[in-house]
Every structure is written in structure tokens, then in C-alpha cells.
Structure 1
């Protein structure tokens, strides 16, 4: 396919000046480039290798995607952000708003609550309720006490359909349009153009192209894919533990979808959760069914959000400086106490008085230090993408530019699969192992890459997080875990009393919120006539944050050990979003097992495998069409493999993968606060999520923890 006839690959173009810095900045189309600096995490990644191979011989089973799950890493560009000082001789922004501007952003503050953005990216965070209007060449965004990212760039227009290109004398690649992109992190922002307006809420993105009405891009498509994949894996693995990284599996599949055409592309988009509103219209919509230029906005912005999380924000820098000061003070007091202790029986009254004062002060400082450390983000979240392509294969330059620019994969690395596939397999496996801190080994098994391999896409993700409030090891003990069958097994259960940083909610069996009481009379607590928890068919869930409050683990457990299938039947993106909104922060007693396990899913991409059953069989057979990658050969996905690792203990979680009370009532009786107990001593579902975007990074279930205690 001619590279100039690929409308799916819309890329932000460089300015005519040819400035290298501008080229790099503009060369990341709908990625919101450096726009996500202060927003998220730190870690390492390992995801999914994709072996795209020519059709013909099916003797081999190449491994395609190997999502590596458990920690994310911040990649390049962390220094691109700066606090938004107003340009010289311009108005000052309302102090109730904080502005962060990406390097190169061209903007003016017209008045305290009105900003004009000409190009680049800005982030606005409301410190107190206040209104704000941001104008771009394409429209006006209106916000009221929220947190959002907005960007404006030039972008290439889709070229005309192939049957009309002969009558057009202008080079289609030179046609440009402009895009205004909006990502809402909290609250609601309205983007209005001459053609209409659209309101976006938390975790929603909106794109407005020049002359068009704004369109909403659902950044939670990943959640839809996550729960759909969970349902299919659950069906294929009855009664077994599950753990995988849907976020990075979808990221890897998206890179392949950028080169898919026709039925192959339509099926892949549906499985990946693309909104039907973004199906293309026109003569070539059968060939290129989806508005890929807009679809990649959500994913690429989320990727940037993840990758910019390694940045040390001013708040985190202040916290870390405070930690160093308190730690030094604590060490000095301990030194003085040790000096007094050395005097032994020679201590006089002044020594004893000083010792008493030091111990009292030391305890105060230690308490302050503990509270401060809970706010410091120590999580390690690392993400890395890489592509290896057969050096003799003529890949489409537009496809390569899209996947490297919009998905952060870097340049396509040359590989000699034809002459030395085994050597390349070992090289790729070494990269994957390094990115996952050695947790994922042998990403591509022996024999999975062969001379027919043309492409390997590897997405790695690594996560290591400390609980904001850790469990005490002394409270962990062997206790029974009740299986769905009613049998019990012994496992190490962690116990956390009166955890105040947990969010909790309970639900009826149909998913409706159960009204968990806040205050009780003592008689109610003793009798519990079924008023404290929902019935046997109900369930409860908690959210436990990791240090820094950016990531959290959500755990869902049924009241009846046999009730997990009923929860699974309700598990989808919409219900999960509703349940999360219902949760309240309150003191909760938490009981859950320690566990460490690895999972390996190697049937995901076969002709009769998991992804085919979900609705995309064409990609794995003779009718596959990946001509958008620029090949004259007929390509298909040989297979998809996903490996994942997780370790949950008292300190926190390590994972990796390849691919105030209400007002008192009228009663005069004394009431006491009710502290619910969340018991995960039975089969449960768990997920690790980014609290800011809502993205599900890891998802799994624990059915039987036998032999998994770490």
C-alpha cells in the first residue's frame, strides 16, 4: 500500500522551520505529548510480543504478545513541564487555578479567568472553586472547579479515498487541519465549537477538529476490554486463579490494529472497545473502518499519563525534603539517647529528665515522619514498548511513525528473523527480563520465533508499590480460606484493624448499593439482625491505596464463598464505575491472604483461542489483512501470549506482565461508630488501578491460595 494513501495514520506535522526540537514535539500526534508530566507513576514494564507472520506455513506457533504486568516506568520527557508563569506583560491567572505548561506551549492569559491557547499543551487544576475559559482556534472550553488537560496542534488531514486521488493535484500528505484535545481528570468541562458543544466528565477525552463538532473519545475502552477478557478467561479456566494486565495487552493489540484493514480492523476495534460513534463514513470506510487518529488519543494520552508519572512534583519534592529533615532530627535524638544510656548507673537527675524529654519528643517526631511518609509516592511503575521488525521486510513508514510516535515504542529495531531467529529470540527475552526486574523470563519460548516471523511487538509493564498503611507482619497468621465448594484450606491471612485510609462499600446481589450504617446502638451491634451487611447473595468491596495515592488495589468478595460467579456475571465497565463512585472512606477491618503467583496464557491468539472467541478471529487466519503495515505478503498474527507475575504481602504489591460521620439522629441513646469487616478469606476478585484515570492496569481473581503464600 502506498504510504500516501493511509488515512488511518494521521500524524502531527513539524513546523516549516524544520526546528529539530519542534519536530520532536509535534511528531507525537494525538499523544498529548508532555501533557501528562505531573499526573502519574513510576515503574517498569513488560507486555506482549506480537509475531506478525506471512501466511503459508502453520507449522510454527509464534508468540505474538507478551504483556508484562506489575510496575510502570516513566520514560523520557519528564523535564518538559514547568509551572505556568504568565507570559510577560500579560494578566495574572486567578490564584484559585494552578497552571502547568508543556515546553513550547504558546498561550496568553487574557484575564484572570480567561486563557487563549494557540498551540501546545496546558494542564489546569482548580485549587478552590472557580470558573475558567480556555480558547483555542477550534473552540472554547469552559470549566468550573475541575482538573483537565487541553492541547492544540496541527495534524495531517486524512487523504481522499483511493478512487479520488487521481483527480487531486495537491499532495494529500500536505493537507493539514488542527485538533483541539481535552482530557478531563476531575469535574466537568464543556468544549464548544461553531458546530456544537459537548460536556466531558472524569476520565473522558474530547477531540474537536477544525470545522467539526467535538467528539467524545472514551478513554475507558480499556476497562471494557479488561472485563470482557476476564469473562472469557474465566470461561476457559473454570475454578482457576487468574491474573493478567489488560492495559498493556490492549496497548500491544492497538499497535497491530493501526496496520489492520477491512474486516480484520473492524473486528479488532470491536474487541478492543472502540466506540461505534467513531466508525468512519465514506468510500474507503470498509478498508479503514475506524477513525484511528482519534481513537489513539485516549490510549496515547493514558500512556503519556503513565510515563510522565516518574516526575518529582513540587509537592512530592517538598514532602521528601520534609522527610529528610525529620529523619535527620530523629537520628540525632537517637544518638543523644544512646549517649545517655552509655552512662548507665552514672546518670544524674538532669540526664534522666533529658532522657524523658527526648523519648517524648522522639515519639512525636516518629509519628510525624510516619504520617509524612504515607504521602510520599514510593511506587515504581515502569512501562516500556519495543518493536523488532525483520530487516528485509518493507514496513510502511507511516505505520512505523504512528506506532513509534503515538505509542512510545521508539524506533523499530531491525532483527534478522530470517537467518537467525533463535538469536533474536534471546535478545528480545533479555530486554523483556530487564524491563520487568527479572520477574518475567523466557517471554518468547524456544521455537516461537522462526524464519517466517516478520514482526515482534513487546510491551512490558512492572509495578512495585508499598501500601499507604502497611499490614503488620505480627498480625499475619495461618487461617482457613473457604473455597467455593465449601472446603477449607490453610493460608497466611493478613489482618489490618481499623484501617482509616480504606474505601468501603457493600452491595446487594443485584449490584444495588447496600446502606451500611455509620452509627449503631450497642444492642444493634450485639444482635445484628441482618442490618450490618447485605444478605447471603450480597458482596462488599474495598479500595486500598498505595503510597502516594496514585495507584490502588480494589478487592471484591462475596458474602457467600460460593458467590463469586454471581459477581462475575455483573462485572463490566459500567457496573465497576458505579460501584467505585459508591465507595466511602471509613475505618475498616481488612482480612486478606498473602500470595505470590505467576500466570501464563499462551492460547490467546490461536485460531480458536481467547481473542478469536471474543470476536476477532480473522486476524489469526488466512483472511487476515494487515496491509497497512506496508507488506505485499499476506500477514496474520501467529499467536498471542501473556505472562504475568504478582506478589502481595504486608508491605505492598509487586507485579509484572508481558503484553466525617453524618449528623446525629433524634435518638437520645448513646451510639457508637460501626466499623465494617471486609473478609477476603474466600474467593475474590482484585484489580490494580490508576486512581486518576481509572485505567485498570492489572486484573485477577483468587480462587484457591494453596501453596501461594509468599
Structure 2
């Protein structure tokens, strides 16, 4: 690949979840995703969630490290690129990201969901935003610009990427910081801009919510957490006993922790044995949905959950190519964005952080895409949910069923960025 054939996609996030390993996914129904004939037929949440499990499967590398992504952030940033995709790139993006081939359907579905996310609430903060940063001498295709502004709320601003790269990076980074409540800093490095950089697309999502019923701080105590390799560490473990929505199988337990307002929840999936890899290798979106359907609120549950706060960083271009998104990285298939040149993608980097405490969760995510010129019982039964070994969790918008963040906790006290 030459320098002219490049888009840089950098994804940053901050939230209260982690990432999964080799999670399998059942194939989404193409009749309700890529072949959907109407907005009513297309299920954006199902498409987003199917992509989430596919990507997690590709990200599994057998390591025992924390991992975190925001499927919704990636899904949305790539949708803005998809709006300008043509030919085989258009087809591949639809197949890999479960977009409808009819772009007008995705536009309406995306706008409906953006409006849902940005709906004001007194109970929590949840906002998403999109922006496009265009090189001064470039012009967006009129229809593309109109659709991005109308359906993705994407504002357009011009920058001098070539002449003033550091200043351009500062402007983009300040926007990201503002949208994520200063949780994501220095997303873009001015050194990534060169004479071929024509466009940067940014997406940000921010969430700050309190638990519907907070954990009492005086009940938090230092307890043992068993790592995947058998080592033991001491960590702050939150404790509560109350009625939770709970389910179990011979291999797994699932627990719902609702946030105040009941629009969003965290779901924790805990293997009964300390073998997170076995769970990941045999857990898919169908299993996840089935576990949720079988949950009930009949029993009181003793819950021990570690406080955790960490950051992760992943390079996503190789996983996306492995999933079938080849032409977007090698051909000139993004031909419907700027009038002067066709664009393609070179790199996708995803960085995330998470903070879960007694009061609740704060999360933020940002995605930047740089495009360059290519030219029930009688007696109460108390259940026990002791998350003292690695587990998977999801933050989900219950209004739509869309997974906003998903991840895995391998080490609850890990608190520095790692890049691979």
C-alpha cells in the first residue's frame, strides 16, 4: 500500500466495560440486515450486536489482558465512511458491518438511534456526536455532505492538515475532549497528517450513569481475585445483597445491574469455573440473548463485584480485513465523499478506558478516521454471584437492545494503556 492509499481510523474510548476474546457469533439474517427493504425491516441493534461479536472474535489473541471496545462507536464512524462507499467496497462494508445495501435505510435508522441516545434525561448522561474535518482545498460531494449533516448530525469544518498539522490536530483533539468530558485526550497526533490527508471523521460517545441502587462504600473490602493463570491478587470488592435480575446455566451465570432511569444496564456474564477462554470459545450472540431471556427476579442474590479501572488499545485494520473488509483498505472504493479524489482506509486504532465504582460508571469513546488522497419458590433462595475471577460484561441500551460497550475483565486493578 502506498502513502496515497490511506485512511487512518483511530478509536478511543472510556467506559465501564472490557472486552471479550474468541467469542463466536451466529450469522445475522441477511434478509433483515444487508437485504432489508425498509426501515421497519432493518434492526440496527441486531446489526450492531452481530458486528460486535464478529469483531471480538477477531480480536481474541489468547492473552490474559483486559480488552475493551465500543461497538456502537466503530459501527457509527464506519457508517459515515459507508455513505461514500461504491462498488465492491460498498458490498463488503455491508456484509462485514451488517449495513443495508440501501443506504437510505441506514441513514434513517442511524438518525433515529442518534436521536434516542441524545434524548435528555435527568437520570444519566448519554451523548454521541459526529464531525468531519476537511482539508481547506477540498469540497465534499453535495449529496454526501447533506446526508451526513441531516442524518448523522455531522458538522463540517475546514483545517490546514498539510501546512499546520499540529494546529489541526489540536482542534480535533479539543473537540474530542469536549465531547467526552475530557476523558479522551490527544486522540490525533499531528505527525499523522501529511500532504495526502484530505479528511478526518470523528465520532464520540459519552456515558455517565449511577447504579439504580448504589453499592455501599462501607461494604467494599479487600478480597482475593483469581487471575486466569492461577495467580491471586488482592482487590477492592464491592458487595450487595438484594433482588437482581439473574440467570444461570451449568456453565455460566448472568446478572443485570441497571442504571438509574432503567434505560441502560450492565450485564455481567461469569463462568462458573475460572476458565474465561472456554466461555469465550463457546459463547455467541445467540447464547447471550438466550441467557437474557431466561433471567428472572425471583431470588435474592449475594453479589461481589470488583471495582475496576483500566485502559486498552488495539489496532483494528487487520481484524477488519480478516472479516472481509479488504477493498476498503486497498482499493479506491470511497469515491462518493470528496469531489476531487477517491479515498480508502489504511489503519484503525481503538483505545478504551473504564471506571466502575460503588456509585456507577463513567464511559467515553471517540473514533477518528483520517482519509488521504488516493488520488420462583415458597422459601427465598439466596443465589451467589461472586465475580472473583475473569468475566465478560456489556453495557446495553435497553430501549433498543444496542450494545454500546462490551468487554472482559482479566485484571481489575490494571490501570495503564497497553498497545499491541
TM-score, length basis structure 1: 0.52
Taking the TM superposition and a 5 Å limit, the aligned residue runs for 1:303-452 are 303-308=114-119, 310-311=120-121, 377-410=122-155, 412-452=156-196
- Shift in Å, 1:459: 0.6
- Shift in Å, 1:218: 1.9
| Cα gap change, 1:504 to 1:265, in 2 (>3 Å) | same
CA deviation map 1:506-541 (0-9, x unaligned): 02xxxxxxxxxxxxxxxxxxxxxxxxxx3xxx0101
Partner of 2:255: 542
Measure, in 1, the Cα distance between the counterparts of 2:306 and 2:224: 10
Q: Is 2:88 aligned against 1:227? A: no
Structure 2 segments unaligned to the other structure (5+ residues): 17-31, 368-375
Partner of 2:26: none
- Shift in Å, 1:297: 3.0
Structure 1 segments unaligned to the other structure (5+ residues): 1-54, 72-199, 201-205, 209-213, 279-289, 312-376, 508-533, 665-671
Partner of 2:73: 248
Measure, in 2, the Cα distance between the counterparts of 1:604 and 1:487: 30
Q: Is 2:271 aligned against 1:558? A: yes
CA deviation map 1:208-249 (0-9, x unaligned): 5xxxxx8611221000111111111223x6221111111011
| Cα gap change, 1:452 to 1:549, in 2 (>3 Å) | same
Q: In terms of mean alpha carbon deviation, does 551-560 or 261-270 score higher?
A: 261-270
Measure, in 1, the Cα distance between the counterparts of 2:210 and 2:233: 28
- Shift in Å, 1:207: 6.6
Partner of 2:337: 629
TM-score, length basis structure 2: 0.87
| Cα gap change, 1:391 to 1:571, in 2 (>3 Å) | farther
Q: Is the 8 A contact 1:63 1:444 kept in 2?
A: no
Partner of 2:361: 653
Taking the TM superposition and a 5 Å limit, the aligned residue runs for 1:165-180 are none
- Shift in Å, 1:707: 4.2
Partner of 1:343: none
Larger Rg: 1
Q: Is the 8 A contact 1:69 1:698 kept in 2?
A: no
Taking the TM superposition and a 5 Å limit, the aligned residue runs for 1:186-205 are none
Q: Is the 8 A contact 2:247 2:294 kept in 1?
A: yes
Measure, in 1, the Cα distance between the counterparts of 2:227 and 2:284: 24
Measure, in 1, the Cα distance between the counterparts of 2:229 and 2:312: 23
Q: Is 2:287 aligned against 1:575? A: yes
- RMSD over equivalenced CA pairs, Å: 2.3
Q: Is the 8 A contact 1:490 1:706 kept in 2?
A: no
Q: Is 2:41 aligned against 1:64? A: no
For residue 86 of structure 2, the aligned residue among 255, 261, 264 is 261
For residue 302 of structure 1, the aligned residue among 113, 116, 135 is 113
For residue 619 of structure 1, the aligned residue among 312, 325, 328 is 328
| Cα gap change, 1:396 to 1:432, in 2 (>3 Å) | same
Structure scoring higher RCO (CA < 8 A, sep ≥ 6) equals: 2
Q: Is 2:247 aligned against 1:505? A: yes
